Structure 1
Amino acid sequence: MDDTREPVPGARADVDADLFDYRSLLTDDERALLDRLRTWLRADLAPVADRQWAAAEFPHDLIAGFGALEVVGLPYDLPGTPTEGRLLSGFVSLEISRIDSSFASFYGVHSGLAMGSIYYCGSDEQRARWLPAMRRLEKVGAFGLTEPHGGSDVAGGLETTARRDGDDWVLDGAKRWIGNGTFADLIVIWARDVDDDSVKGFVVEKEMPGFSATKMEGKLALRAVQNADIVLDGVRVPEANRLAGANSFKDTNGVLRHTRGGVAWSSVGAMMAVYEVAVQYAADREQFGRPIGGFQLVQDLLARMLGNITASLGLAVRVAQLQDDGIFRDEQGALAKSFATSRLRETVAWARELLGGNGILLEYGVARYFNDAEALYSFEGTREINSLIVGRSITGLGAFT
């Protein structure tokens, strides 16, 4: 059977999910970079995204080509490479997620969490040692914070330990849900110092004895992301691999503060993807003798979807601007993340509703996002935890316990 259906979500040229034209805030050069990225995503990632998701496999063969686009680590001031603003890096996350939320998660973990930990908490020597290769994607990074018994309460319940032994540190413990963990070259591990009870950060290299990573099986969201169960059994890490500026959970949270906005951007990209599919489907699908796009209830769904996209994109854009201006606060990122991911859940559900039974088939471009939304809703702080961050800023009172 000859299937001539366009395999890329949002194929209709007249579908514009950026109603208020936030993209116009970028420079001509920045928009040109996004256009190059979009061309690569549609040509290389889109054709394999459904297949990789169904097989729960990551497209490792695409890493080199993606690295050549020079969109990794854009906000970081590194020698010999241009530094771009958070607004551009946000739009990069958006564009990737429009095609595949799993690949966007790979990008966010590597460029945001892993590189961000080294950039914000590392010494000059450590940044020079690791970040250039990570920016070129010659080295892939992961971020090890969450544990089998510690998610939302990991700040106070971190069980992984670090013990100083001469010129080395000995790490023992376990990490869970570690994106990129099965194949990352460098894994940032957060552990509690047994001597002073402070949280410290370490860059563990995958070949270090005692380190093991096992792929988690049975996930129903972000299936192409290779989440790992990590075991640290007496892993000896040299003092040179201890992040010099990571000496408390406040430093860990500083990294998370910078990356929560990225989840909002990815959520907007996923919403745009299903909205564009829904608009095309509404035009093409006929029932009762005419396109379903001519029915009031369908138009209402589309209008609500576009409203969620527009509101969430507005928050994401403003967060990026505040970050670039150096006046960004925890509660701003928390509100953007919790709001955008909540609206994502609504939007993918409305898209699935509009497509009827076809909404649960991978080939129609909604089912994958419908499942993936659940992961975006939960990671980088659940809605409840982010709400408490916002609530603390409103009242001045902590309500976490």
Structure 2
Amino acid sequence: MSLDTSTAAGRPAAAQERLYGVCDYYDAESLLTEGERRVLGRLRSFLDEKARPLLADYWERGEFPDQLARPLVDLDLMEPAELTADGPTRGIYQGFRIFELARTDASLATFYTAQAGLFRTAIRVGASPEQQAEWMPKVIDFSLKGVFSLTEPESGSDIAGGLSTTARLDSDGGWVLDGAKRWIGGAATADVLAVFARDVADGQVKAFLVDREAPGVTLEKIHGKTALRIMQNAHITLDGVRVPDSMRLHNVNSFRDVAAMLRAMRSDVAWIATGIQAGAFEAALRYVTERQQFGRPLGSFQLVQEKLARMLGNVTSALSLVVRLTEQQARGIYRDQDSALAKMQTSLLMRETVALAREVVGGNGITLESDVARFHADAEAVYSYEGTHEINALIVGRALTGESAFTR
């Protein structure tokens, strides 16, 4: 695979040596520091050498390659020591970390961000300062593994009003939880489940860290998935589960507090959607430069080149969007409509990009050998989670018009 950047992009040919090359056409990578690029380069090597050879087999089996979990943690990606000497890692690095994972595999990105994004955000936003001081270092080094347990069997998009898992304050000052959660990725290997439940006393949503092996907790693997097959999703049943008040996230006292978490986490999913596009585009580009048809490289045909150009345009648009959103959030600007717009638009672009990639690879685009089939299938899950297209569109529409169109 090659691209003459001296003529096609106005950059010297040496630009091909960048970490992200052609899929980062406008060189957003230049916003990274050298140290950040080194850490991401180590992640790239691990993914290419250790993870990629396993993906097709484990995707088809519907299993997670557990042998990758500890080495991935040992890469020290969340707050790398070499980057945090002068403070916490920057948002742009965190975004590209997700991008790198997702351009290799959506399940690996989802697995890692379950801890580094969802669970960490639950602690950062929902825990009291004292709880954060105790738990956050363990979250960062993965000695306390957790998952975000919000979605329920009968409530996804309507979770704000439809959340039915209950929390009852007992006479001993502890809590009793009853209900069910569904689609909880990584629950089977977590230490605790961040469970959101409605307080029967005041009707408000509260959050609890529940020991995965506590009496009354039952986990069932969800079978029969056609997307994110590597990621293990669970159906969780909570039957009279007792939780001490010390394990309640003390800063979560209404769904408004949960919404603050979602506002931050949707930007992570937008980065995943962007990385999936990059992976699908790169796989398609490799294929058409190697495949011969009618005695010519497949990439020499006009219709194929038009599809490649559209894919690159989508990737470039999505990457520009998430980079700008990340820069805005780094300045402390977090708005529901901003993360919703990013998730909505990058997911739309992702859907088209993976479809175009499958088209140019032809019949081989439905086999796992080319990688394109995996991206094509996994994109459907990412399109729906962390807010469907319609829900995110209504969040943006509400901000534009001042009128809520949500069903009451």
Do the two structures share a fold, i.e. TM-score over 0.5?
Answer: yes
- Partner residue of 1:293? 299
Output the CA distance in 2 between the equivalents of 1:335 and 1:243.
29
Q: Which moved more, 1:38-47 or 1:301-310?
A: 38-47
Output the CA distance in 2 between the equivalents of 1:338 and 1:320.
16
Q: Deviations over 1:266-290 (max 9, x none)?
A: 1111111111111111111111111
Matches within 5 A, 1:49-88: 49-72=55-78, 82-88=87-93
- Partner residue of 1:94? 99
Which secondary structure does the structure 1 equivalent of 2:44 belong to?
A: helix
Residue in structure 2 matching 1:123, options 109, 112, 128: 128
Is 1:373 the counterpart of 2:382 in the alignment? Answer: no
Report the CA distance between 1:73 and its aligned residue.
5.9
Report the CA distance between 1:28 and its aligned residue.
1.1
Q: Which amino acid aligns with 1:120?
A: V
Contact 1:213–1:228 under 8 Å retained in 2: yes
Report the CA distance between 1:124 and its aligned residue.
2.2
Where structure 2 has 5 or more consecutive residues not aligned to the other structure, the ranges are 1-15
Output the CA distance in 1 between the equivalents of 2:150 and 2:117.
14
- Partner residue of 1:255? 261
Output the CA distance in 2 between the equivalents of 1:171 and 1:86.
35
Output the CA distance in 1 between the equivalents of 2:334 and 2:100.
23
How many pairs are equivalent?
387
Which secondary structure does the structure 2 equivalent of 1:175 belong to?
A: strand
Matches within 5 A, 1:158-177: 158-165=163-170, 166-177=172-183
Matches within 5 A, 1:200-239: 200-239=206-245
Output the CA distance in 2 between the equivalents of 1:287 and 1:48.
29
Residue in structure 2 matching 1:138, options 123, 135, 143: 143
Report the CA distance between 1:82 and its aligned residue.
4.8
Report the CA distance between 1:382 and its aligned residue.
0.1
Report the CA distance between 1:125 and its aligned residue.
2.5
- Partner residue of 2:159? 154
Q: Which amino acid aligns with 2:25?
A: L
Report the CA distance between 1:138 and its aligned residue.
2.6
Residue in structure 2 matching 1:318, options 307, 313, 324: 324
Q: Deviations over 1:194-229 (max 9, x none)?
A: 000000011111121111111000000001111100
Q: Which amino acid aligns with 2:326?
A: A
Contact 1:63–1:137 under 8 Å retained in 2: no
Which secondary structure does the structure 2 equivalent of 1:16 belong to?
A: helix
Q: Which amino acid aligns with 1:142?
A: V
Matches within 5 A, 1:317-356: 317-356=323-362
- Partner residue of 1:21? 27
Runs of 4+ displaced beyond 6 Å: none
Output the CA distance in 2 between the equivalents of 1:283 and 1:112.
36
Report the CA distance between 1:61 and its aligned residue.
2.1
Q: Which amino acid aligns with 1:18?
A: D
Output the CA distance in 1 between the equivalents of 2:335 and 2:187.
29
Report the CA distance between 1:184 and its aligned residue.
1.1
Q: Which amino acid aligns with 1:88?
A: Y
RMSD: 1.7
Give percent identity, aligned residues only: 48
